[in-house]
Amino acid sequence: MRERALVMVVGAMLMTTSFALGSLMANGQTTNPDVNNIFGVYQIGPDTIGYVEHSWHDGNDYYYKDTGDPYLATYQYRSPPPDDGYEERGYWRFTLPNDFFTNKQVTAVNLIFYTRHAGCLDDRGCPGGESDLMFHTQISRLYVNPLSASAQDIFEGISNGLPYLEGWNHPDSRAVLNHYSDHPIILTIPLGLTAAADINHHEGGWFAIGMRIETILVGLDSYDARLEICSRSDCVPAVPPDGPTPKIALPYIRIEYLEEPSWSQLKYDASHDGGSVSPTPDTKNNPWRDYNCEPMGGPCYHYDYSPVARSILEPNPWNWQDVVYTAVSSLYGTVYLKTYNYQGTPRYAKNSGVTNEFTGGGEPSLAVNDELLVLVVTHMPPSNPGFEIKVFDPRPSSLLADKWGFGVVPGEYAPSAPALYGRYILVGTEGSVYNTFGKLYLLKDRGTSFETIWIFSPPSGDIATSPTVYKDKVIVRATDEVYALPFVEPESSRNGIIEGSEVQTLLTMTQWTGPKYASELASGPTAKGGNVFIGSHDGYVYKIPIGGGTVLSRYVGGSVQSTPSVAWGTVYVSTNFHVTPIHVDIYALSENTFLDVYPPRVYPGYKSGGASPILAGNTPLNYKVFFWMGRAELPENGAWIMAVKPDLSSIYKLQVGDVTDAGMMGCTPAVAKGWVFTVNGGRSAPLSDFWGFIIGWNS
């Protein structure tokens, strides 16, 4: 189709009526004065609209594709095979700008279109009139390009994409669309949290979604019917004219976002590139610090995956709240949640309800998005070894209300943070004894309950690091193998188990022969630009094309325990040398060639653990790189955050813990709106207090 633009008249009306806070800016953005959020809207119409048809008769299947049809008709005859029948599914393809949304916080995605006609197809007509029709539809991500894909691939692809309509609160991911007539009606369909994640991860280029009708009802009776969606037509029931009609409104998507310059550990969810456009402090002056164990009345322990930070929307009244979330374990194993605003004022503390008998144990980790705060805790011996998941409402006004829990799974540990992708939660595990292996769980939030979508059991190895998501693939490391799994199982083989035929092996590293629970296995995958970046126990960093091709590697000598970070064309990675002399090497590699962009930097006497580097800044020249490091030797014994320039030259370093913390695995900082947040990474600061603490600074 030739039409491709913003919906000017309808779009302008929506933009001027949707902003409740701030004043409308010329560039379509507003500012919330309470927390200085910049709120933007991006609207775009499709560059392709069409439908595919699957028909079956005489025992044969037929597929037909129509691109650029003057209208989109989505309907079905309900007779299933082997009887004769057919079904049509519609699709839209949009083109998004390169890397526009990857450093923003997408808050809502709406599909907006006109319906021209809805009518029954059989001889009975529609009792009570056609306006009583209800369509249960499914709208999902389409991973095949409808311009080049076959009709069958598009048809099946609409069933094999992530479903979007959770935002309508239908447990089966469908929406009820009703109140239709022969007159054009505009529909705005919120596509929900998963669509927001898809846009947030989209690196640019074509983006397609599909619609299928699953149920058509008049009252309680099922009927064959059709739903026509205007495109080039004049939006009347008559046969549309041949060629475009300029005065009509195309379907379009409306994307609402915050210019939220933050990197909240795993970037809210499953995007692990580690880059942010946030400004960051030029000095280490005036940090705030708060002891984090007061709710317990005694000592507490921090671990690797806390804190996390995010702007959360409060609906009544409509406003944004900036929140830092932490998870700590008491000396006796009870896990507490505590929240702060960015300036360090405590907001709310809560007993999570998770208790484990291991002294100081639990290794709690957090992940957060707009609707979910996910806590994962490992239950250690002497009793009931396993892991547990609890999900809370992240809004401060809810007081972190419980949503649901995934009870203790015996025999498995969860050593790393969960990864969130919309309403989907990915958790990797290790086997609790030496002759068992871990699993990867994909769960789906259902509001007050959950659904297990699938489980992957690698043939060998443990999943000790967080997975990442790239388009329709879940990338996961299992000890010395890197796999790509289907995010959505193919409909033809969907059984809740990721089987060998569905698994793509991306890389086999040097065989691991060390102990089962080794920190050398802590480097997880980063996915960016069609490639996976990962460090290894064998002293190499790898760049792996997801779609196949030449694997690049760079030998860095020491084990790589941290997940690489990628931004502005540069890959940053740290190595650990545990042999004498102990030291850390920091590398800056070209994302394209994998050669050194700058000479490596050596930190004698330090360890970096599994903490990942954070890259923050809005141009290739002014960003900073932050590393957590620990040192047990005088004169600089303790835990530190190092701030360096892109070329690895020093800016400053800030002590965030004492010598007791120096031997920990480290804490990846969270960056948000010019602030940096971290915890001491261990159990005391200073040792005489025996209390964990959180620290933040922005000047």
Domain positions in the chain are 42-257, 262-697
Select the highest-mean-pLDDT range: 42-46, 185-189, 581-585, 589-593: 589-593
What pLDDT shows up at residue 671?
86
3-class DSSP assignment, residue 300: strand
**18-32, 84-98, 507-521: lowest mean pLDDT where?**
18-32
Mean pLDDT of the chain: 77
DSSP-derived letter for residue 65 is E
Distance, CA of 29 to chain centre: 24
pTM check: above 0.95: no
Find, among 274, 273, 275, 278, the residue nearest to 262 by Cα: 278
588 — pLDDT class (breaks 50, 70, 90)? very high
Measured distance CA(287)–CA(275) in Å, rounded: 23
Q: Which residues contact 698 (CB under 8 A, 6 or more apart)?
A: 281, 342, 673, 674, 675, 676
What pLDDT shows up at residue 248?
40
Select the highest-mean-pLDDT range: 267-271, 386-390, 391-395: 391-395
**Is the pLDDT score of 447 beyond 50?**
yes
What pLDDT shows up at residue 669?
86
Tell me the DSSP string of 256-292.
Answer: EEE---EE-TTTTTT----EE-----SS--S-EEEES
Q: CA angle 125-118-113, nearest 5°?
A: 175
Tell me the DSSP string of 31-60.
Answer: EETTTTEEEEEEEE--SEEEEEEEEEETTE
**Is the pLDDT score of 151 beyond 90?**
yes
DSSP-derived letter for residue 370 is S
Residue % of the chain over a pLDDT of 90? 28
**Is the pLDDT score of 487 beyond 90?**
yes
What pLDDT shows up at residue 596?
94
Measured distance CA(576)–CA(665) in Å, rounded: 11
**Is the pLDDT score of 241 beyond 90?**
no
**Is the pLDDT score of 677 beyond 80?**
yes
Q: Which residues contact 319 (CB under 8 A, 6 or more apart)?
A: 21, 32, 34, 35, 313
**137-146, 155-164, 381-390, 538-547: lowest mean pLDDT where?**
381-390
How would you class 11 by CB atoms within 10 Å of its CB: exposed for 0-12, middle for 13-18, buried for 19 or more?
buried
Q: Which residue has the higher pLDDT, 263 or 548?
A: 548
Q: CA angle 135-136-139, nearest 5°?
A: 110
**Is the pLDDT score of 143 beyond 90?**
yes
Select the highest-mean-pLDDT range: 115-119, 245-249, 361-365: 361-365
Predicted confidence (pLDDT) per residue in 67-83, tens digit: 765 445 455 555 555 56
**72-86, 96-110, 450-464: lowest mean pLDDT where?**
72-86
Predicted confidence (pLDDT) per residue in 262-310, tens digit: 554 444 445 566 777 778 888 998 899 887 776 666 677 776 667 888 8
Q: CA angle 169-175-178, nearest 5°?
A: 125
**Is the pLDDT score of 601 beyond 70?**
yes
The domain covering 262-697 belongs, at the CATH homologous superfamily level, to YVTN repeat-like/Quinoprotein amine dehydrogenase (2.130.10.10)
Select the highest-mean-pLDDT range: 113-117, 288-292, 393-397, 565-569: 393-397
**Average pLDDT of the segment spanning 446-469:** 91
Type of residue numbered 612: S
Residue % of the chain over a pLDDT of 70? 72
688 — pLDDT class (breaks 50, 70, 90)? very low
Measured distance CA(429)–CA(386) in Å, rounded: 9
Q: Which residue has the higher pLDDT, 474 or 267?
A: 474
Question: Residue 678, CB half-sphere, CA atoms under 13 Å: how many?
Answer: 30
**Average pLDDT of the segment spanning 33-57:** 77
232 — pLDDT class (breaks 50, 70, 90)? very low
Measured distance CA(599)–CA(588) in Å, rounded: 8
**Is the pLDDT score of 338 beyond 80?**
yes
